[in-house]
């Protein structure tokens, strides 16, 4: 079995996909305590010790609003450290899979974003992630950059756990209705990542569950399926007054993934049903 070493493994995505990837790879799951990706020497040590064939870089500073106040931390982890990881992959001849985000786009389009669309981030987080993508592909053109979006999964806090907790506690919940994207079940990223590795692809790929909705519509679907009777009200992003601007529209065109691997992402409603069990 090929050896896969993951960074940032204890986060939402890592804790959901690594148990699946263990079926296909010998997985070493590291997080900041073992390998802080800003530390080049630690990276060298980890690669020498575990001799991975593949590095899956899940580590990131993901506090989108926090990034607005911590520009240097966002840049250090999401951009510079991504560059360090890719340098190390080139040096040690390791295949790199790096994860990025829909926040590289400004959301001003009205039709699904392809990999050829020009990014234009509207937030510090988006800027730092775009810079990370560029550093990765400049240093390591054989890397696979998986852009995904609107993740939810088991463990930790996510949109579904937050909105259902609020509704159960207060009997009402307000959810933004002016951002459209594709809610994506973390577990649904494992097979496409494997397919991209198996087909020895390189470059940027958009990977998200198919179909789209607003956050409000997503919450409506969750409430209906869980039979939560709380009142759900649509609000605008302005009303939420968050520090970082989010894309108004960030639906992905994932046809490049299907064309190059044969893998087709399932509809978000089906994935949600699976998640809710
Ligand atoms: N969640 C989403 O909706 C979403 C959407 C699109 C793309 N993504 C991307 O998907 C990837 C995984 O995201 P996630 O949702 O799993 O994020 P997450 O839950 O925040 O996990 C990230 C992990 O990286 C760790 N980390 C932070 N700084 C590090 C460093 N310097 N060195 C090593 N590890 C470090 C974090 O540790 P601490 O918790 O201790 O900081 C955490 O365990 C990221 O690249 C993110 O940008 C996420």
Residue 50 resides in a domain:
yes
191-203 per-position pLDDT tens digit: 999 999 999 999 9
Residue 156: predicted pLDDT = 75
* Eight-class DSSP state of 249: B
Distances (CA, A) of 203 to 38, 119, 140, 254, 262: 23, 15, 10, 14, 17
43-62 per-position pLDDT tens digit: 999 999 999 999 999 999 99
- Distance of CA 231 from the midpoint of ligand 1 (Å): 32
Whether the Cβ atoms of residue 219 and residue 269 lie closer than 8 Å to each other: no
User: Which listed residue (61, 103, 113, 125) is catalytic?
Assistant: 125
- Name every residue whose Cβ is closer than 8 Å to that of residue 134 and which is 6 or more positions away in sequence: none
Whether the Cβ atoms of residue 155 and residue 18 lie closer than 8 Å to each other: no
Residue 157: predicted pLDDT = 81
Among protein residues, the one whose CA lies closest to atom 15 of ligand 1: 12
Residue 69 resides in a domain:
yes
Check pLDDT > 80 for residue 177.
yes
Mean pLDDT of the chain: 97
Residue 94 resides in a domain:
yes
The domain that holds 17 is classified in CATH as 3.40.50.720
Residue 89 resides in a domain:
yes
Check pLDDT > 90 for residue 153.
yes
Number of the ligand 1 atom closest to the C-alpha atom of 148? 6
| Nearest CA-CA partner of 105 in 81, 125, 135 | 125
How many domains in the chain? 1
Confidence grade of residue 266 (pLDDT, cut at 50, 70, 90): very high
Ligand 1, pocket residues at CB < 6 Å: 7-8, 10-14, 31-32, 36-38, 58-62, 77, 81, 99, 101, 129, 148-151
- E strand or H helix that includes residue 159: helix 159-170
- Distance of CA 59 from the midpoint of ligand 1 (Å): 5
Residue 46: predicted pLDDT = 98
Residue 231 resides in a domain:
no
Distances (CA, A) of 244 to 69, 110, 240, 241: 10, 21, 11, 9
Residue 240: predicted pLDDT = 87
Residue 163 resides in a domain:
no
Tell me the percentage of the chain whose pLDDT exceeds 70.
100
Domain that holds residue 25: 3-152+182-211+250-266
Measured distance CA(51)–CA(142) in Å, rounded: 18
Annotated active-site residue 125? The verdict is yes
- Distance of CA 267 from the midpoint of ligand 1 (Å): 24
Residue 66 resides in a domain:
yes
Residue 72: predicted pLDDT = 97
Residue 110 resides in a domain:
yes
Over residues 97-108, the mean pLDDT reads 98
Over residues 216-242, the mean pLDDT reads 95
**Pocket mutation for ligand 1, best pick of 5, 15, 28, 32 (most atoms within 8 Å of C-beta):** 32
């Amino acid at each position: 079995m090929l050896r896969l070493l993951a960074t940032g493994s204890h986060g939402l995505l890592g804790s959901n996909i690594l148990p699946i990837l263990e079926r296909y790879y010998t997985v070493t799951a590291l997080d900041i305590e073992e390998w802080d990706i800003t530390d080049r020497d630690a990276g060298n040590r980890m690669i020498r010790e575990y001799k991975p064939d593949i590095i899956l870089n899940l580590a990131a500073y993901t506090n989108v609003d926090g990034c607005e106040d911590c520009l240097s931390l966002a840049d250090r982890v999401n951009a510079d450290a991504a560059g360090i990881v890719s340098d190390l992959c080139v040096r040690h001849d390791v295949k790199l899979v790096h994860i990025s985000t829909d926040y590289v786009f400004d959301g001003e389009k009205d039709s699904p974003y392809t990999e050829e669309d020009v990014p234009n981030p509207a937030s510090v987080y988006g800027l730092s992630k775009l810079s990370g993508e560029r550093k990765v592909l400049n240093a390591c053109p054989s890397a696979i950059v998986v852009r995904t979006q609107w993740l939810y999964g088991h463990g930790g806090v996510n949109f579904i756990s937050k909105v259902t907790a609020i509704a159960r506690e207060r009997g009402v919940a307000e959810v933004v209705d002016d951002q459209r994207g594709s809610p994506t079940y973390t577990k649904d990223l494992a097979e496409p990542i494997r397919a991209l590795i198996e087909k020895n692809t390189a470059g940027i790929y958009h990977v998200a569950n198919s179909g789209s909705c607003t956050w409000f519509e997503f919450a409506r679907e969750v409430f209906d399926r869980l039979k939560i009777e709380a009142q759900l009200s649509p609000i605008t992003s302005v009303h939420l007054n968050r520090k970082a601007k989010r894309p108004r529209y960030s639906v992905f065109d994932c046809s490049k993934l299907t064309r190059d691997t044969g893998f087709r992402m399932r509809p978000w409603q089906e994935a949600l049903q699976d998640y809710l069990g």
